[in-house]
A and B are shown apart, each in its own frame.
Chain A
Amino acid sequence: GEDVEQSLFLSVREGDSSVINCTYTDSSSTYLYWYKQEPGAGLQLLTYIFSNMDMKQDQRLTVLLNKKDKHLSLRIADTQTGDSAIYFCAVPIQGGKLIFGQGTELSVKP
């Protein structure tokens, strides 16, 4: 069946770059998403990329998409303590559903 995989934890030092990876087994031809969840809150749309692009940059965020390998990544430049959160990738599949990964907990140490 459809599956979206992420590593569960990532720890970086403040000022470093963070790279969160996501692999998926199936995707329909629309957008792929990254969501951010802070403690005690709902998921918030962070950024997205259209499936015919391979890169999108949005200030400190860079999204890379490798459709051949079915690999999506989110790079956060100059990571700050306020970036500590759980990051979810979300991939649409045939039939119109959005499948979420398990989430990667990013911990930023000062």
Chain B
Amino acid sequence: DAGVIQSPRHEVTEMGQEVTLRCKPISGHNSLFWYRQTMMRGLELLIYFNNNVPIDDSGMPEDRFSAKMPNASFSTLKIQPSEPRDSAVYFCASSLGGSNEKLFFGSGTQLSVL
């Protein structure tokens, strides 16, 4: 298995633009997680899905952030409109079971909002 696949690897955009990050979890995994990593705040859980259903989105910072999982093999995290303070590395992770199981992380998307 290729592991968790994220795209793009790097994204540079201007303030106010829409940004869409993509994730393909490991085949057969039932749970998918979006994390954000910054120097100041460390690793923060934004949202997680179980069987394509959002279970906990309490970490989503604002209404500008939205996430979808239309099927078991694909998820998106969208920021609209983007702001400079959204600059971070965004990781997607998946696991076989629930949210406290072994997580497998993608390589991340480095987002820079100018």
* Residues in chain A within 8 A of chain B (CB atoms): 28, 30-31, 33, 35, 40-45, 48, 88, 90, 92-93, 96-98, 100-103
Contact = CB atoms under 8 A, between A and B. Distances in A.
B19 interface: no
Contact of B42 (A48, A98, A103): A103
A42 B100 contact: no
A8 to B, nearest CB: 10
Contacts of A100: 42-43
B99 interface: yes
Contact of B100 (A45, A88, A92): A92
A42 B42 contact: no
A91 B5 CA distance: 25
A42 B106 contact: yes
A44 B45 CA distance: 16
Of all A-B residue pairs in the complex, the 6 with the closest CB atoms, nearest first, are A92-B100, A42-B105, A100-B43, A96-B99, A102-B42, A43-B105
Given A42-B4, A42-B106, A43-B105, A96 B100 contact: yes
B23 to A, nearest CB: 11
Contacts of A42: 4, 91, 93, 105-108
25 contacts: A35-B103, A41-B107, A41-B108, A42-B4, A42-B93, A42-B105, A42-B107, A42-B108, A43-B93, A43-B105, A44-B105, A48-B102, A90-B103, A92-B100, A97-B45, A97-B56, A97-B100, A98-B45, A98-B99, A100-B42, A100-B43, A101-B42, A102-B42, A103-B42, A103-B43
